[in-house]
Copies of this chain bind each other. A is one copy, B any other.
Amino acid sequence: MSTTRRVPTRDELRIWRDYIETADALRSMLGARLQSDSGLSSGDYTVLLALSEADGRQLRSSALAAQIGWERSRLSHHLGRMERRGLIAREDCPTDNRGAEIVLTAAGATVFEDSNGPHLRAIREVFVDALTPEQLAAAGEVASALRVHLTDRDLP
């Protein structure tokens, strides 16, 4: 079929590059702000957010990975770094000796809470405030259309 061989037009390609480069710029800007405001990377923030919302501020390592959509090994490496800094701790799992419970330390909770307000405000400043309500809604629809298309393509 000849559709599979067609290439994007110049305009389509320009929009693609705009889209992906802009998202990248936002990610890196917010990451840098988070880092200088609180000493957290955006990975740290993601992990701390999930733990702070969890029952008893702790999760099985695999549950945490599923929750935030990370590969297990990526999480393992990241937890190692966070453990060294005292943000989280690993404890044995009572119901499965292979398992690890990841618990949010008091220090980790404090750092996260201090970082949260500023980080959310930064998101508003660089993302929400940049768009009209219509554009914001459109951004949501675009993202969800892309997501649906992507996951549909992967499974069948």
Question: Chain B nearest CB: distance from A76 CB in Å?
Answer: 19
Count of A interface residues, CB-CB < 8 Å: 52
Judged by DSSP, the binding face of A is helix
- CA A12 to CA B126, docked complex, whole Å: 12
Residues of B within 8 A of A129 (CB): 149
A147, closest chain B residue (CB) = B22
- CA A121 to CA B8, docked complex, whole Å: 7
A119, closest chain B residue (CB) = B7
Question: In the complex, are the beta carbons of A131 and B145 less than 8 A apart?
Answer: yes
Residues of B within 8 A of A20 (CB): 23, 26-27
Q: List 8 A-B contacts (CB under 8 A).
A: A4-B121, A6-B121, A19-B139, A19-B143, A125-B153, A126-B149, A132-B145, A138-B141
* A interface residues, Cβ below 8 angstroms from B: 4-8, 12-16, 18-27, 29, 69, 117, 120-121, 123-132, 135-150, 153
